[in-house]
Structure 1
Amino acid sequence: MKSTRRRAIAAAVALGSACAAGFAWANGYPSKPITLVVAYPAGGDTDALARLFAEKLAARVGQPVVVDNRPGASGIIGSAYVSKAPPDGHTLLLAPSTFSIAQLVLKSGGASGYDVLNGFTPIVQTGSLPLFLVAGSASGLATLKDLVGAAKGGKPLTYASPGSGSPMHILGEMFNRAAGVNLAHVPYKGVAPAVNDVLGGHVPATFITLGPVAPYFANGKMLPLAVASRERSPLAPKVPTLLELGYKDVEVTAWNGLWGPRNLPPEIVKTLNGHFNEILKMPDIVSRMAVLGTVPVGGRADALGKINAADFERFGKVIKELGIQAD
């Protein structure tokens, strides 16, 4: 009996020590600089957000947070890098919603070496980005009714997007189907050239996030025709939704979120989620995100996993039905 009791006590002490050591390790996080990977070039919206968050997170955790741009293949290169990183919380990924669909639209996506549904640990959805249909003033299109009427009347019209296979491209093709029109897609390598060509009158309209185009609304160089979110955006409350204007099943909202490698310890997820939920409430962060066309979200870690899975399923079907591919 005594021997059995001694073994039980010893086992309990060992288990307690192991748990204590585990929590001590988690509570000591981070123990070195954190790398925040952005799978796109410097200067874009995701990069700008990453640098905002990096500064705030570094001040809270007492370690440098370094933004590492690893662009290529619609975000697949940077995402693959993080998927292979040690799950210790020192390598993270800030990704836009292209994360969910990149493998679906690229011919080589299946060879990327990671599982977009199960190969990462969701930490927090940082923001939501409503997508707008915007016309250039040179187009002569003042309303969505003008655009659809012109298209149905036989006028050849095009729309710009930041790239083939982007959420904006998918939205454009969903709108074509819902409206019964055939706006030809003109893909660009990024937001800036797409916006410039709409401003220059080379392309009449674009599906785009708000940040890059909002400065042109006040001077009349661009006109917002509709927003593709379920409800009007608080960033542009006067712009009607596509649903209000009679177009169903054309709801597409972009987002961004923070991810870690698979099997990131729950205590680290909880720590990072808590920090970001506080960061996303800071007035200077809220105002800066608004300039970038982003509404702060926050919330539980699993909410990000759910929106990723929902987009993967929904847009997977749309991509297949409409034959959408990236260059």
Structure 2
Amino acid sequence: MKRPVVALSARQPDRTSLNTSTSSSIDGALSILSAGGTNCGLMKRYWGGGWRVFREESALLRVRRRPWRPARRRPPRIFIGASMFALLRKFALALGCLPLAALTAHAQGNDFPAKPITIIVGYPAGGGPDIGARMLGEKLAARMHQSIIVENRPGVSGMMGASAVARAPADGYTLLFAPNTFLIAPHVLPKSANVNLDVLNDFVPVVAPSKGAMMMVAHPSLGVKNAKELVALLKKQPGIAYATPGSGSPMHIAGELFKKSAGVDMLHVPYKGVAPAIADVLGGHVKITYASIGVVAQHIAAGRLVALGMAEKERSPLMPDLPTLAEQGYPNTATGAWYGVFAPKGTPPAVVEKLNQEFNAVLRQPDTAAKLKQQWEVPLGGSSEDLARMAKAEYDSYGKIVKEFNISAD
């Protein structure tokens, strides 16, 4: 369609546009156009755009439409909401803080320790865990040039002390020194104990300082010298009693594993602790028991007890001539006995690494190995990851055993 043009003058117009702010000039021009005429009709038939009114010297008007141009396409705009903007801002800040976080963690490790360290033992003074913690604490204090305080918090199968460490600030200045029974207790303790503790997730493993050995012993009057002879006797006289420090203890679990593996029956007699159980076996009132090697070694040497076999996966270097129960034909009877050091969950990795390095350095000292041997322990050491794997494996294993034999603590 031809673009309409209304021309009231043949002269070329002055291209100066009327000032839109001058309302009188525009009104005057529109009044002339509205007077009628063919040209006005052409204006009415205009299909779009706007109209410009130009002024001429002859006072006649020429009206022409605004030149047509294709619409310009603007690039799409991306609008970021407030929440997205805040997220991007946090991301940028996090990226910027990564070097600072690394430097802070490094500084934490270098400055640690800046004050005394407390090692909590969940058992009474004078026992195996207490002796081990104090000996290692003395060595650590000399290396780290800080005091090491050993604090005993006995109760609820060691869970009182563990709970105290779990609630402590996660700064590496409060540690837990515990035997592996720490991993059995959650499976055997009754609900009435009110132990709201996750032994795997509420702590950070630091190091496993040492391990001992669990063994089966008998009174000489029983007339047996090894596990095979004991099984032969139990086949003839089922129901012979064995003593343990209590229901749900590692010794109780060891006894149930042996009964299943050998296919024999023994009567479990729980006591309130290791000392009374050993005392009754020495007196011949109960003929069999399980105990750590350090508890019974002197009685074996004196002939008051007979060693029947190690309840371990391998022979102990402390008694290399004594075969394991598995070697004698009774597999799946190992329990194990070791100590672990744990820190509260959230302890900085640099601090955990520093503690691990210091413990391992102490364990490599010859006099440390000698003192551990006096306690019938051997140095273990290793990384925090090593202890984490050991703890997870034993926690899962004991959970299955306790469920299978329906074992519970007193």
TM-score interval (norm. to shorter): over 0.9
1:239 maps to 2:322: yes
Alpha carbons of structure 1 residues 75 and 236: separation in structure 2 relative to 1, 3 Å: same
Query: Which residue type is aligned with residue 23 of structure 1?
Result: H
Residue 302 (structure 1) aligned to one of 370, 385, 410? 385
Distance in 1 separating the partners of 2:309 and 2:94: 65
1:285 maps to 2:368: yes
Distance in 1 separating the partners of 2:216 and 2:94: 64
Which residue is 1:177 aligned to? Answer: 260
Distance in 2 separating the partners of 1:314 and 1:17: 42
Alpha carbons of structure 1 residues 21 and 230: separation in structure 2 relative to 1, 3 Å: closer
Deviation sequence 1:118-141 (CA, Å, 0-9, x none): 110000011122210011223333
Alpha carbons of structure 1 residues 148 and 31: separation in structure 2 relative to 1, 3 Å: same
Alpha carbons of structure 1 residues 180 and 31: separation in structure 2 relative to 1, 3 Å: same
Tell me the SS of whatever aligns to 2:210: strand
Alpha carbons of structure 1 residues 156 and 13: separation in structure 2 relative to 1, 3 Å: closer
Distance in 2 separating the partners of 1:81 and 1:258: 14
Which residue is 2:146 aligned to? Answer: 63
1:40 maps to 2:123: yes
Which residue is 1:214 aligned to? Answer: 297
- The within-5 A match list for 1:146-295 is 146-295=229-378
1:119 maps to 2:183: no
Given that 2:222 and 2:287 are in contact with CA atoms closer than 8 Å, whether structure 1 keeps it comes out as yes
Paired positions, count:
318
Distance in 2 separating the partners of 1:11 and 1:213: 58
Which residue is 2:173 aligned to? Answer: 90
Tell me the SS of whatever aligns to 1:253: coil
Tell me the SS of whatever aligns to 2:396: helix
Q: Which has the higher contact order (CA 8 A, sep 6+)?
A: 1
Tell me the SS of whatever aligns to 1:211: helix
Which residue is 2:17 aligned to? Answer: none
Structure 2 runs not aligned, ≥5 long: 1-92
* Cα distance, 1:174 vs structure 2: 0.6
Alpha carbons of structure 1 residues 158 and 291: separation in structure 2 relative to 1, 3 Å: farther
Given that 2:108 and 2:351 are in contact with CA atoms closer than 8 Å, whether structure 1 keeps it comes out as no
Deviation sequence 1:48-82 (CA, Å, 0-9, x none): 10010110111111111111101111111111110
Query: Which residue type is aligned with residue 194 of structure 1?
Result: A
Alpha carbons of structure 1 residues 283 and 163: separation in structure 2 relative to 1, 3 Å: farther
Given that 1:132 and 1:207 are in contact with CA atoms closer than 8 Å, whether structure 2 keeps it comes out as yes
* Cα distance, 1:19 vs structure 2: 4.1
Query: Which residue type is aligned with residue 370 of structure 2?
Result: S
Distance in 1 separating the partners of 2:389 and 2:95: 38
Larger Rg: 2
1:20 maps to 2:74: no
* Cα distance, 1:179 vs structure 2: 1.0
Farther-moved stretch of structure 1 (153-162 vs 306-315): 153-162
Given that 2:121 and 2:161 are in contact with CA atoms closer than 8 Å, whether structure 1 keeps it comes out as yes
* Cα distance, 1:229 vs structure 2: 1.4
Given that 1:38 and 1:67 are in contact with CA atoms closer than 8 Å, whether structure 2 keeps it comes out as yes
* Cα distance, 1:85 vs structure 2: 0.6
Given that 1:212 and 1:292 are in contact with CA atoms closer than 8 Å, whether structure 2 keeps it comes out as no
Over the matched positions of the two proteins, sequence identity in percent amounts to 46
Given that 2:168 and 2:174 are in contact with CA atoms closer than 8 Å, whether structure 1 keeps it comes out as yes
Tell me the SS of whatever aligns to 1:235: coil
Distance in 2 separating the partners of 1:74 and 1:109: 13
Tell me the SS of whatever aligns to 2:294: coil
Which residue is 2:7 aligned to? Answer: none
Given that 1:103 and 1:109 are in contact with CA atoms closer than 8 Å, whether structure 2 keeps it comes out as no
- The within-5 A match list for 1:67-146 is 67-108=150-191, 111-146=194-229
* Cα distance, 1:109 vs structure 2: 7.5
* Cα distance, 1:218 vs structure 2: 1.9
Alpha carbons of structure 1 residues 316 and 18: separation in structure 2 relative to 1, 3 Å: closer
After TM superposition, the score normalised by the length of structure 1 is 0.92
Alpha carbons of structure 1 residues 11 and 165: separation in structure 2 relative to 1, 3 Å: closer
